[in-house]
């Protein structure tokens, strides 16, 4: 996409610190990291979010997340790793090109990833809504992608 900042990074039109690249995906260091080694795994094709990404590209991205997680563990000696993926403005998505954050964690670091618990009295209703099948479910179990 013409004006997308991550598409521009993919096309090498703006600088980035790439740490992984293949024909489908790229990973580069986050310009504003939560910890040293915080990187972003990005599909080379432009999708806005988890709800419109092609399954094959998503599968590729999560495999690269694993590659980067292993490198972060071995090369940076991280104690733990958070994998985050934001969708939509109210979920904290700033760049509208699908990406996974891979964040190294160290003892006593200052990274805070949290949410408040809320009381949900109508769990049965929510379960029913989320369990609906049919055309909109969009995935056939057993299909290898």
Which of Zn ion, ligand AMP, none lies near 50, with the C-beta cut-off 5 to 8 A by kind?
Answer: none
Site string for Zn ion, 85-114 (x = CB under 5 A): ------------x-----------------
97 is catalytic: no
Return d(Cα 10, Cα 28) in angstroms, integer.
10
Pick the closer one to ligand AMP by CB: 8 or 45. 8
Compute φ and ψ for 72, nearest 5 degrees.
Answer: -60, -40
Among 18, 46, 73, 105, binds Zn ion (CB under 5 A): 46
Q: Side by side, which strands form the sheet with 80-84?
A: 18-21, 25-29, 39-43, 99-105, 80-84
- Nearest residue (CB) to ligand AMP, 82 versus 93: 93
CB of 30 to ligand AMP, least distance (A): 5
Q: 102 pairs with which residues across the strands?
A: 39, 83
Interface residues with ligand AMP (CB under 6 A) are 5, 16, 28, 30-32, 40, 86, 92-95
Say how far apart CA 42 and CA 26 lie, in whole Å. Answer: 5
Which are the catalytic amino acids? 99
């Amino acid at each position: 996409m013409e004006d997308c900042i991550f598409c521009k990074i993919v096309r090498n039109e703006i600088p980035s610190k790439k740490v992984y690249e293949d024909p489908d995906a790229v990973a580069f260091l986050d310009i504003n990291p939560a910890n040293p080694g915080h990187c972003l795994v990005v599909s080379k094709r432009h999708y806005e979010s988890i709800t419109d990404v092609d399954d094959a590209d998503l599968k590729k991205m999560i495999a690269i997340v694993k590659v980067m997680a292993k490198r972060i563990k071995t090369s940076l000696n991280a104690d733990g790793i958070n994998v985050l993926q934001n969708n939509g403005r109210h979920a904290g998505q700033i760049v509208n090109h699908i990406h996974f954050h891979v964040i190294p964690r160290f003892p006593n670091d200052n990274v805070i990833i949290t949410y408040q618990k809320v009381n949900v009295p109508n769990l049965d209703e929510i379960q029913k809504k989320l369990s609906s099948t049919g055309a909109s479910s969009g995935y056939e179990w057993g299909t290898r992608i």
